[in-house]
Amino acid sequence: MDNMQARRIQVGDFRMDADEKEAILDVINGGRISEWQKTKEFEKVFANYIGTKHCLAVSSGTSALILGLLALFYDDRFPKARKGAKIITSPVTYISTASAIVLSGYEPVFVDIDEKTFKLKTEEVRNAIEQHGPGNVAGILPVHLMGYPNDLDELIEIANEYDLFVFEDSAQAHGSLYKGKRTGSLGLLSDFSFYIAHNIQAGEMGCITTNDGRLYRLMKQLKANGRACNCILCTRSKGECPGIKKYDGMGDYDPRFTHEYITYNFKVTEFTSALALSQMKKAEWIFQSRSKNVKYLTEQMKQFDHIFSLPPYDPDVSYLAYTLIIKPGSHVDRKNLRKALEDHGIETRPLFGCIPTQQPAFSYLKSQYEGRLPVADYIGSHAFYIGCHQYMEKTDLDYILDVFSDILKQNRD
Ligand SMILES: Cc1ncc(COP(=O)(O)O)c(C=O)c1O
């Protein structure tokens, strides 16, 4: 260990390269920092990349989830999307998937996941629908955790059979391919996050993608406090917006200050849109660099596959990070191992925990789910991840391998 030069290997890294600096300067010189042309441009570029007709930028991935779920409430084509309706989702995800479901008035129903790729077990989805009563379930919200796509064809088939919506949480899967199509293009709605550790970064920002024009227009209103006007670049002030309702007795109303819904402000700034836009120029490089790093690590980590379940390598996956699950009976303690890695400058994160049994915020569901989500429970207490990001070099990967080797050798001695 002494001859190893200490390094700092973060879970994710963001660099202000020339592109990002130029994008920020553009905004400053343009003179308008609230939502405007850069946001419009980003939405166009991202929709095109994902392969949907529409994209709507919002303040975070969490707001994208809330916005989409609220829109389904307000759209009368989805009568099952009502207060208290159930949404089937993953128990192992960043907390906001489940929080957004609760905050927008629905109830999450958690089903167990595949132990290698974290996707929903489709048979369990079907069982949960039957158990809760098809009339009480409004939708399925699969999470493409760490970039691994769910079985979308099967989930969409189940959804069609029971008249449910599919809302993809693609916050961790920018660019992942499912049977040749990008995740985020197959569900009715999909959310993405551009938080700093994600593959496309803007500091804080999110978006929602869809092919449904009606939901898109509704969400444009809902993201801006429910205002009557749904154009971003609107400069009209005298009710001249095309396609919006006229209100009796409000002849000179201003559509920007006339509100049809009670809702939130999820708008973005031009700065974050500009950063996300500059990142989109590098999307392919980011995808490929992460993929290459995961491939190399998985090949080399095979020497430890008696200790860890390694992440399956798939060239279609846009990897958020490199996940390791400590195998049963391997006598390696996650807390000690994470501490040892951190002591050597290798940042780690737990794989979120099983929401209904391990997250304090959802402890009201603990007794209901105790013993019913064995894979999620195990992953929640034995999985963690390290970085595989685009700025890591081969020497960083070799350093990681040396550190693992050293720590695990000491563990054995
Ligand atoms: C799967 C998943 N969903 C939703 C979110 C929420 O995104 P944000 O942090 O931008 O609110 C995240 C963020 O990490 C996530 O990983």
Domains of the chain, with CATH numbers?
A: 18-280 (3.40.640.10), 283-412 (3.90.1150.10)
pLDDT of residue 197: 87
Ligand 1, residues at Cβ distance < 6 Å: 60-62, 93-94, 96-97, 143, 169, 171-172, 193, 195, 206
For ligand 1, atom 7: residue with the closest CA: 61
Q: Which residues of the chain have pLDDT under 70?
A: 1-5, 231-252, 411-413
For ligand 1, atom 16: residue with the closest CA: 94
CB 142 within 8 A of CB 119: yes
Q: Tell me how far the alpha carbon of residue 349 lies from the centroid of ligand 1, in angstroms.
A: 14
Q: Tell me how far the alpha carbon of residue 199 lies from the centroid of ligand 1, in angstroms.
A: 12
Atom of ligand 1 nearest to the CA of 145: 1
Give the Cα separation of 112 and 105 in Å (integer): 23
Give the Cα separation of 33 and 148 in Å (integer): 35
- Per DSSP, 84 falls in state T
Q: Tell me how far the alpha carbon of residue 247 lies from the centroid of ligand 1, in angstroms.
A: 38
Query: pTM, whole model, 2 decimals?
Result: 0.96
For ligand 1, atom 8: residue with the closest CA: 61
What is the average pLDDT score of the chain? 94
Q: Which of 60, 150, 193 to mutate to test the pocket of ligand 1 (most atoms within 8 A of CB)?
A: 193
Q: Which of 11, 58, 59, 62 to mutate to test the pocket of ligand 1 (most atoms within 8 A of CB)?
A: 62
Q: Tell me how far the alpha carbon of residue 65 lies from the centroid of ligand 1, in angstroms.
A: 9
Q: Which of 65, 94, 189 to mutate to test the pocket of ligand 1 (most atoms within 8 A of CB)?
A: 94
Give the Cα separation of 88 and 318 in Å (integer): 24
pLDDT of residue 236: 52
Give the Cα separation of 17 and 13 in Å (integer): 12
Work out the angle at residue 412's Cα, subtended by the Cα atoms of residues 407 and 413, and round it to the nearest 5 degrees.
100
pLDDT of residue 325: 98
Nearest to 64, CA basis, from 196, 195, 228, 199: 195
Give the Cα separation of 80 and 137 in Å (integer): 7
Q: Tell me how far the alpha carbon of residue 94 lies from the centroid of ligand 1, in angstroms.
A: 6
Atom of ligand 1 nearest to the CA of 320: 16
Helix, strand, coil abundance in the chain, percent, nearest 5 = 40, 15, 40
